[in-house]
């Protein structure tokens, strides 16, 4: 693991002329270890290729302030160390493309490193496909919708005695005291927040609980929590930080294929629920506190074989397998010592995989880049582990496919994986 993150950094230092004698010997020994390592080193230090990559990345992200800020910082750093102009820009290119792209590719497939000459086809400019960003669609109680990507900050609507407020790119609810003269304040209003492909968003619920939605997810919730519980429904993936209230438990309800559902009950805790209907399992990962999970039918009645809830401790993950025939037992399994950073990497700006097969990787890519992935012929039977920044361009993603000898063609917004 350390080598996978360390070697690309040594390559950048090599291009900057900052390697110590010991580091130079270490890098040379690594490059001589295999043909794959040697090809990787040659590709990563080819100056013309690096400059071309830099031009591509800059063109692909003309409005990306973070990208250009990073580029400016790297250029400034290169000036400080006194490089000649052409070396300065090579170092910048290396910093951008090696650390972000080639380092990701090297880390992504631990079993082999190669830079094959893979023939690819792109019939539209790849820059037309952008990574996802913050955005969502809010559906109010009367069915009206608000596209939050383009909505102006301020009060978006009033639901009963609750104002729906968009501030600093986040959705919040401001509830006034009940007005006895206004019976409409006793009506329970429900809103739904949905993220299409290529979007994610965060919301603060009326009780102060915070929820982050991943792409292709939805959250249905009341604008005021009445009664003796706080119940919400989700599809897709969400991370929760629940405001404690021992007298009113918080319940996350899911509905999944094969008449499968689940409830996660908490008092105050941090946890992640992944319940996409395109995946083969629902997973709940606990970071802090304590939760109780039980499977249900989609009418929310407990299943016959799982009346007692399963309790999770921090660092544990529960799994409910979804690929079951109708009526089969929906058993909950619990795994200890989960990599918590891996479980919530999406919330922290990363596409992250741990021994995932290619189809699992591509499903995440579809959701975040808003593309369709098809398969032509036999699917490569390899697993992938690694992390990739979710603000990377589609070019950088395709570089990873190239490096891992995955053949493909890109036509419009359809990526076809080939043998």
DSSP of 144-170: -EEETTTPPSEEEEEETTEEEEEETTE
Residue 74, classed as helix, strand or coil, is helix
**Integer Cα distance of 19 and 16 in angstroms:** 8
Is residue 284 situated within a structural domain?
A: no
CA 375 to chain centroid, in Å, comes to 23
Distances (CA, A) of 13 to 16, 24, 53, 95, 245: 5, 9, 18, 9, 52
Range of the domain at 89: 2-115
Give the count of domains, the chain: 2
Q: Which of 95, 11, 110 is nearest to 53 (CA)?
A: 95
Is residue 211 situated within a structural domain?
A: no
Q: What angle do CA 308, 219, 344 make, to 5 degrees?
A: 75
Domain boundary residue, one of 84, 115, 146: 115
- pLDDT tens string, the chain, 419 residues long: the values are 345 457 767 876 776 677 888 888 888 888 888 766 776 677 667 655 555 555 454 444 444 444 445 445 444 443 433 333 444 444 444 444 444 444 444 445 443 333 333 333 344 444 478 899 999 999 999 999 999 998 999 999 999 889 999 998 899 999 876 665 555 556 889 999 999 999 999 999 999 999 999 999 999 999 999 889 999 999 999 999 999 998 899 999 997 666 667 899 998 899 999 999 888 889 999 999 999 998 886 555 545 444 588 999 999 999 988 654 444 446 889 999 999 999 999 999 999 888 889 999 999 999 999 999 999 988 878 888 888 888 888 877 887 777 777 889 999 999 999 87
Residue 298 is predicted with a pLDDT of: 56
Is residue 274 situated within a structural domain?
A: no
Q: Whose structure tokens read 């965060």?
A: 202
Contact yes or no for 383/360 (Cβ under 8 A): no
Question: What sections of 339-411 are H helices per DSSP?
Answer: 340-343, 358-369, 394-403
Domain boundary residue, one of 115, 139, 154: 115
Is residue 26 situated within a structural domain?
A: yes
Residue 24 is predicted with a pLDDT of: 83
Q: What angle do CA 160, 166, 172 make, to 5 degrees?
A: 60
Is residue 369 situated within a structural domain?
A: yes
Residue 223, classed as helix, strand or coil, is coil
Is residue 21 situated within a structural domain?
A: yes
Q: Whose structure tokens read 């008092």?
A: 267
Is residue 411 situated within a structural domain?
A: yes
Is residue 225 situated within a structural domain?
A: no
Domain boundary residue, one of 92, 115, 138: 115
Buried b (16+ CB within 10 A) or exposed e, 371-404: bebebeeeebeeebbbbbebbbbbbbbbbbbbbb
Residue 179 is predicted with a pLDDT of: 60
Q: Which of 417, 414, 412 is nearest to 381 (CA)?
A: 417
Percent helix, strand, coil in the chain (nearest 5)? 30, 35, 40
- Confidence (pTM): 0.71
What's the CATH code of the domain at 372? 3.55.50.30
Q: Which of 301, 320, 297 is nearest to 310 (CA)?
A: 320
**Integer Cα distance of 222 and 211 in angstroms:** 14
Residue 183 is predicted with a pLDDT of: 52
């Amino acid at each position: 693991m350390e080598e996978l993150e360390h070697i690309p950094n040594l390559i950048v230092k090599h291009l900057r002329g900052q390697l110590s004698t010991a580091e130079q010997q270490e890098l040379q020994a690594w490059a001589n270890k295999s043909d794959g390592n040697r090809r990787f080193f040659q590709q990563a230090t080819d100056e013309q290729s690096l400059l071309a990559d830099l031009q591509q990345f800059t063109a692909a992200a003309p409005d990306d302030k973070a990208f250009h800020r990073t580029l400016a910082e790297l250029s400034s750093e290169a000036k400080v160390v006194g490089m000649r102009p052409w070396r300065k820009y090579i170092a910048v290119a290396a910093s951008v493309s090696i650390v972000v792209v080639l380092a990701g590719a090297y880390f992504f497939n631990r079993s082999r490193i190669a830079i094959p000459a893979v023939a690819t086809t792109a019939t539209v400019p790849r820059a037309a496909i952008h990574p996802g960003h913050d955005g969502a669609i809010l559906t109010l109680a009367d069915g009206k919708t608000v596209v939050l990507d383009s909505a102006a900050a301020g009060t978006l609507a009033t639901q009963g005695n609750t104002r729906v407020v968009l501030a600093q790119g986040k959705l919040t609810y401001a509830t006034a005291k009940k007005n006895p003269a206004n019976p409409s304040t006793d009506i329970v209003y429900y809103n739904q927040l949905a993220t299409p492909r290529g979007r994610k968003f965060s919301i603060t619920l009326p009780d102060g609980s915070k929820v982050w939605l991943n792409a292709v997810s939805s959250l249905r919730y009341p604008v005021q929590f009445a009664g003796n519980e706080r119940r919400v429904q989700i599809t897709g993936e969400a991370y929760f930080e629940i405001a404690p209230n021992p007298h009113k438990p918080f319940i996350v309800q899911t509905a999944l294929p094969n008449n499968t559902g689940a409830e996660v009950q908490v008092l105050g805790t941090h946890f992640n629920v992944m319940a996409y209907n395109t995946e083969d399992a629902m997973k709940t990962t606990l970071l802090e506190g304590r939760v109780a999970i039980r499977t249900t039918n989609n009418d929310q009645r407990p299943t016959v074989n799982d009346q007692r809830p399963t309790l999770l401790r921090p660092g544990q993950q529960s799994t409910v397998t979804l690929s079951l025939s109708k009526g089969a037992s929906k058993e909950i399994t619990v795994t200890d010592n989960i990599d918590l950073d891996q479980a919530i990497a999406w919330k922290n700006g990363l596409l992250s995989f741990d021994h995932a097969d290619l189809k699992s990787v591509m499903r995440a890519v579809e959701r975040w880049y808003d593309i369709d992935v098809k398969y032509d012929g036999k699917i490569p039977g390899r697993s992938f582990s690694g992390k990739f920044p979710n603000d990377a361009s589609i070019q950088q993603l395709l570089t990873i496919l190239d490096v891992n000898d995955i053949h493909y063609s890109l036509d419009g917004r359809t990526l076809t994986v080939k043998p």
